[in-house]
Amino acid sequence: MRIIKKEGGTYHCISRTVQGRSLLEHREKAMFQKMLWQLADFSGLRIITYCLMSNHFHLLVEVPEAGAVDDAELVRRFQVLYPKPTRSTGLRAEDLRRLLADNGERGKALRDGLLSRMGDLSIFMKALKQRYSIWYNRTHETYGAFWAERFKSVIVEGRGFVLQVMAAYIDLNPVRAGLVTDPKDYLFCGYAEAVAGNQRALYGVERVMLAFNEAAAGYCPLAGYRAFLFDQGSRAVEGKATISREHAQRVIEKAQGRLSLASVLRCKLRFFGSGMILGSADFVHQLRKELKLEKTPSGRERKLGKVAIASLEGLNLLGRGVRGLKSGG
């Protein structure tokens, strides 16, 4: 499967365990969570939100435009990922700092090698999954593949309505699965970490909500997002659990008023995971042209699908052209 990449951008990524087995328990999720934040910091990517389930994970991640990384920042990121000397070289942060300052051949090679691993979604996801597989097999004394396949990714319009829908979809996964009735009670999602005060997770909430409320004096992004989550979580989705409307209304009223956004979260996983680009018509058309995606590898024209749900009016999906895609499934 071709992974669509662009300079900068926001992506929804999904990956599943081998055979869909429920391998991620509390301890396993906690380790994955730790690795996720470490690698995101090292790579220079920004996690907007995420959710770890027992047999898969969702990740909404922002890849910033390429920028310079000076040696001081390079050493800091190295120490985040390698708090102890690396096994292969025995290199410590102090050693790296000295080698970079000397600017000899080894220092230049180290600098180039580290920089080549930053700012790239595919490299980030590969490192995350490989690191985790090694830890899991070593810890559980097992061997073989942990992940079922290469991750799937969808380019998401990184602002406004579409970004809110996608973030809420991810944070509501444990509610829809019937694990909790309040997403703040599920430890392994971005929203719960934001409520707990994780500044990196709070960035994601602000990134999602301030797109609509930058000028509103005294506006609280976390309260606004909570109201939005409960509004969406109370909407019926076939075969999925919901938040009671009474509970949702109480939460919305406490969040300083209900958000004036006519959005309903009714898309299933196959809708968000089966396409290549999700957003407004202008966004999808522009990116399709920029990335030269007018045709499939076999030469067939890629069709732009409208989401066939009135409450999600305005969402457009560019399909992969592998099979017939039913929008709004």
For 51-61, write each residue's pLDDT tens digit: 999 999 999 99
End of a domain among 47, 80, 115?
115
**Residue with more model confidence, 21 or 85:** 21
Lowest mean pLDDT among 1-5, 23-27, 51-55, 91-95: 1-5
Q: Are residues 210 and 246 in the same domain?
A: yes
314's enclosing H/E stretch is none
Q: Are residues 253 and 291 in the same domain?
A: no
**Residue with more model confidence, 208 or 318:** 208
Q: Is residue 324 part of a domain?
A: no
End of a domain among 96, 115, 134?
115
Q: Are residues 252 and 276 in the same domain?
A: no
CA distances 195 to 86, 185, 221, 225, 257, Å, are 34, 10, 11, 11, 19
Q: Is residue 97 part of a domain?
A: yes
Q: Is residue 89 part of a domain?
A: yes
Q: Are residues 183 and 214 in the same domain?
A: yes
pLDDT value for 94:
92
Which span out of 30-39, 244-253, 269-278 was modeled with the highest average pLDDT? 30-39
pLDDT value for 275:
56
End of a domain among 47, 82, 115?
115
Which span out of 30-44, 207-221, 224-238, 242-256 was modeled with the highest average pLDDT? 30-44
Q: Are residues 284 and 247 in the same domain?
A: no
Phi, psi of 223 (to 5 degrees): -65, -40
Q: Mean pLDDT across the chain, nearest whole number?
A: 80
Q: Are residues 230 and 312 in the same domain?
A: no
Buried b (16+ CB within 10 A) or exposed e, 86-116: eeeeebbbebbbebbeeeeeebeebbeebee
Q: Are residues 221 and 288 in the same domain?
A: no
Furthest-apart CA atoms within the chain: distance in Å: 66
pLDDT of 265 strictly over 60: no
Question: For the chain, what is the domain count?
Answer: 3
Strands 9-16 and 56-63: antiparallel
Residues 59/94, Cβ–Cβ less than 8 Å: no
Task: Give start and end residues of each alpha helix (H) in 214-325.
Answer: 221-233, 245-254, 269-273, 281-290
Please report which confidence band the pLDDT of residue 218 belongs to, taking 50, 70 and 90 as the band edges: low
Which span out of 164-168, 212-216, 279-283 was modeled with the highest average pLDDT? 164-168
Q: Is residue 195 part of a domain?
A: yes
**Residue with more model confidence, 86 or 17:** 17
Q: Are residues 275 and 211 in the same domain?
A: no
Q: Is residue 212 part of a domain?
A: yes
Q: Is residue 166 part of a domain?
A: no
Task: Give the model confidence (pLDDT) of 92-139 as tens digits.
Answer: 999 999 999 998 999 999 999 999 999 999 999 999 999 999 999 999
pLDDT value for 329:
28
Q: Are residues 309 and 275 in the same domain?
A: yes
pLDDT of 297 strictly over 70: no
**Residue with more model confidence, 277 or 329:** 277
Q: Is residue 226 part of a domain?
A: yes
Q: Is residue 65 part of a domain?
A: no
Q: Are residues 254 and 308 in the same domain?
A: no
Determine what percent of the chain is predicted with pLDDT higher than 70: 76
Residue 308: domain span: 269-319
Q: Are residues 105 and 186 in the same domain?
A: no
As a whole number of angstroms, the distance between CA 311 and CA 306 comes to: 12
Residues 277/318, Cβ–Cβ less than 8 Å: yes
Q: Are residues 236 and 313 in the same domain?
A: no
Please report which confidence band the pLDDT of residue 175 belongs to, taking 50, 70 and 90 as the band edges: very high
